[in-house]
Structure 1
Amino acid sequence: MVHAMIPILRVARPTDRMAELIAFYRDGLGLTVLGDFRDHDGFDGVMLGHPNAPWHLEFTSEKGTSAGNAPSPEHLLTLYLPDRAAWQAAKDRMTEAGHAPVRSHNPYWDRRGVTFRDPDGYHVVLQNADWTT
C-alpha cells in the first residue's frame, strides 16, 4: 500500500494563548479541531487541520511554563490556495473574524499572498499560487 509510506506531518508548538489560537485557526483559517487533550502529563493541547489532509497543527500548553512569542517574523506557515475564489474566501473569512492583514517580513509573500499574525506573533501566509518545488 503506497499510503503507508507517506508520513503524516504534525507541526507542534507551545502557546500561552490557547483559546485565542483556536479561534484564529478554526474560525479565521477554517481549520477543524481534530482532537484535544487535557492534563496529559501536565500538558493541554489541541490538533487542528483538515480531516483528509496528511498534516495537522498541534498547540500545547504546559502548566507552570511560559511559551513566549514567535522568535522572529520569519517564523511562518504558508497555505497555498491556487484557486483565486478560494483564496479570496479565505482572506475574507480572516478579516471577518477580526484579523487584519500585516506586511510580510519577506516581501516575496506580499506579491501573491496576504499575511496574518496569529496571537503568538507567528505569521500565516495565504498564498494565491500553486506550490512547486
Structure 2
Amino acid sequence: MKLRVARPTRSLAQVVRFYQEGLGFEVLGGFEDHAGFDGVMLGHRGAPYHLEFTVERGHAAPSAPSEENLLVFYIPERAEWEARVLRMQTAGFSPVRSRNPYWDVHGRTFEDPDGYRVVLYQRAWAL
C-alpha cells in the first residue's frame, strides 16, 4: 500500500521550496492545466508516500484550518534529526511553538506557506 497526501495550496512555488529545500523532498512529477489544475508531487524516491500540492486556476485555496493539521516525521537518530532541523533553518524556515506541547518535548515544528505544520520528531516510531 502507498499513501498520497493531496491538498490545495495558495502558492505552489513557495510550498515546493519549503518541502524541497527545507525537507529534502524531490519533485517526483507534476502537471499543468489538467482540467484547470496545476500540481506537483513531492517525496523521496522509493518511499511509500508522497505529497501532492495543487492550484486550481481562478480559485484561492484556504489556509490551514488549524495549527493541529500536522505531518509528523519520526527520526530516530539524533544526528540525523539535528541535520534535518538545521537544513530547515538554513533554508530560512524557523521553528514555531506547537499548539500541542507534546511535540515540542522531542521535536521541532515548522509551518509551511499555507499554515500547515510539519513536525520533525526525534524518536523512533513506536507502533
User: What is aligned with 1:4?
Assistant: none
| Root mean square deviation of aligned Cα | 0.6
Runs of 4+ deviating beyond 6 Å: none
Match of 1:112 among 103, 106, 116: 106
User: What is aligned with 2:85?
Assistant: 91
TM-superposed CA distance for 1:26, in Å, is 0.1
Amino acid at match of 1:100: S
1:62 aligns with 2:18: no
Match of 1:16 among 6, 10, 15: 10
Q: Aligned partners of 2:120, 2:49: CA distance in 1, in Å?
A: 17
TM-superposed CA distance for 1:88, in Å, is 0.5
Aligned positions of 1:29-40 closer than 5 A: 29-40=23-34
Q: Secondary structure in 1 aligned to 2:18?
A: helix
Q: Deviations over 1:12-40 (max 9, x none)?
A: 00001101000000000101110011011
Question: Structure 1: 5+ residue runs without aligned partners?
Answer: 1-6
Q: Secondary structure in 1 aligned to 2:125?
A: coil
Q: Aligned partners of 1:105, 1:131: CA distance in 2, in Å?
A: 21
Q: Aligned partners of 1:13, 1:113: CA distance in 2, in Å?
A: 24
Amino acid at match of 2:62: G
**TM-score by structure 1 length?**
0.94
User: What is aligned with 1:100?
Assistant: 94
User: What is aligned with 2:70?
Assistant: 76
Percent of paired sites with the same residue: 59
Q: Secondary structure in 1 aligned to 2:66?
A: coil
Q: Secondary structure in 2 aligned to 1:102?
A: coil
Equivalent pairs counted in the alignment come to: 127
